[in-house]
Amino acid sequence: MIIAANRAPVRRTDDGWAPSIGGLATALLPVLEEEGGVWLAMKEDDGIPERLEYPSGDPSLTVLRIRLSDQELHNYYSGMANRVLWPISHYMIQHLELDPAFMEDYRSINARFARAIVDEYTPGDYIWIQDYHLMLAPQLVRSDLADATIAHFWHIPWPAMEVFRVLPWARELMAGMLGSDLIGFHVEEYVKNFLESARVLLGAEVEGTTIYWKGREIRVEAHPIGIGVERFRRMSAEAAEEAERLREELGSEYLVLGVDRLDYTKGVLSRLLAFERFLEEHPEYHRRVVFYQIATPSRTDVETYQKLKRDVDEVVGRINGAFAVDDWVPVHYRYRTYTQEELCIFYRAADVGLITPLRDGMNLVTQEFIAANERGMLVLSELTGAAYLLQEALQVNPYDLRALTDVLKEALEMPEEEKQTRRAKLKKRVGELDVHRWAERFLSSFAA
């Protein structure tokens, strides 16, 4: 198996190399260790050598890094991936920056990945390319390896065709993806959008969920991704005491929680505005509820992310300035990264998980919250992939400030029995979505 992804699957720890945190590495490393293989990723300043045999004692896989100059990193990653493909796929064309230099380096870095894949390939290998950083690689590999088995998995939404076609390079990018034999998305709606894009923009023939293009057949399928459920259950059980301690320290009857990368797609700002309005309209909740927002710094080199940070700082200050009294601070805002063990303390302690992205491919925080939480209720944006799969959550349109404010009250006041019933169903569903099962499902379709 050859996997190509933006990020490497391992990280350096005090005890040597360990799997990176995050579902993809956790799910795929065991497969690669069993089958043997290669993982190709972009070179970053993370201390990982350009060629690493893993695990150290008895290596079964090789991690190979693709080196990028600073300018390439800027154009390919910060530019094309983060300022073009990310906003367009999340329906945020106001954040698009269409600089042709971005696309130029995107082409050459995809070609570099493709070359490395071809160099590592031995007949019979499966090639699995990940995400929006590598749209052109499948076709570039295909042109050298006509008989190779190639799959692509897309981790963010695929937007409506009329939105995607705004990109000047829409057709070229789509044709790049169609070098694959199998293309995976999180949910059926993204599959439909992609099929429509192939039909209209490329004139490809589409029958059911198969695309016929240049004499080849490409299957397009929904494979919703999950989390390492057992791990989160275990971490949550271990966090029980600390979760109680956190609640005591906060000294508040209710804890409302948000956990996100600080990204404009995650809806942090509108969530804060809803909480502000909730406090304005419901003085009976003053001193009784705390909103804890954890935000991981993300893409801090991009101007729109810097502006978002300033806006969030300002609104947090405004709410606390207006409402805080004595020892009650209504908004606790933490702009930092936590370990997953620490996150589980918050997940476990919360009465309401407020997960309200303006758009999100799946949103794994949702599943982590469900796996770890034993007392509360989940409020979930209907504009996430997760919403299609988690019907028992309280769903809301995050652009609707009125609804967002009201749903918070509804979640806080939901009868215990109803919360329990909904939680049980949600936990069952998250168990089915487990990332190990996701990998199995995708790989067995790949091999079919």
Contacts with ligand ADQ, residue ranges (CB under 6 A): 22, 155-156, 225, 259-261, 294, 296, 337-338, 343, 360-365, 368
The alpha carbons of the chain give a radius of gyration, in whole angstroms, of: 22
Residue placing its CB nearer to ligand ADQ in the complex, 133 or 422: 133
Asked whether 216 and 232 are in contact (CB, 8 A), the reply is no
> Shortest gap between Cβ of 296 and ligand ADQ (angstroms)?
4
- How many CA atoms lie within 13 Å of 77's alpha carbon, on the beta-carbon side? 19
> Shortest gap between Cβ of 433 and ligand ADQ (angstroms)?
11
**Pair of tokens at residue 417:** 């029995």
> Shortest gap between Cβ of 335 and ligand ADQ (angstroms)?
9
> Shortest gap between Cβ of 146 and ligand ADQ (angstroms)?
30
**Pair of tokens at residue 435:** 């990332």
Q: Pick left, alpha or beta for residue 214 (phi over 0 → left; psi -120 to 50 → alpha; otherwise beta).
A: left
Helix (H) or strand (E) holding 365: helix 364-372
> Shortest gap between Cβ of 235 and ligand ADQ (angstroms)?
11
Residue placing its CB nearer to ligand ADQ in the complex, 169 or 264: 264
Q: Which of 371, 165, 376 is nearest to 257 (CA)?
A: 376
Residue placing its CB nearer to ligand ADQ in the complex, 362 or 379: 362
> Shortest gap between Cβ of 277 and ligand ADQ (angstroms)?
25
Asked whether 302 and 83 are in contact (CB, 8 A), the reply is yes
Longest Cα separation, the chain: 72
Residue placing its CB nearer to ligand ADQ in the complex, 112 or 299: 299
> Shortest gap between Cβ of 345 and ligand ADQ (angstroms)?
12
Residue placing its CB nearer to ligand ADQ in the complex, 173 or 365: 365
d(CA 183, CA 446) in angstroms, rounded, equals 9
Q: Residue 402, exposed/middle/buried by CB under 10 A (0-12, 13-18, 19+)?
A: exposed
Query: Would you give the distance in Å from CA 294 to the centre of its chain?
Result: 16
Q: Residue 215, exposed/middle/buried by CB under 10 A (0-12, 13-18, 19+)?
A: exposed
Residue placing its CB nearer to ligand ADQ in the complex, 10 or 52: 10
Residue placing its CB nearer to ligand ADQ in the complex, 83 or 112: 83
> Shortest gap between Cβ of 72 and ligand ADQ (angstroms)?
23
Q: Which of 30, 446, 93, 434 is nearest to 232 (CA)?
A: 434
∠ CA 312-290-422, nearest 5°, is 105
Residue placing its CB nearer to ligand ADQ in the complex, 52 or 343: 343
What residue ranges in 195-288 does DSSP mark as E strands? 205-207, 210-213, 216-222, 254-261
**Pair of tokens at residue 258:** 């948000």
Residue placing its CB nearer to ligand ADQ in the complex, 315 or 365: 365
> Shortest gap between Cβ of 403 and ligand ADQ (angstroms)?
22
Beta bridge partners of 259: 294
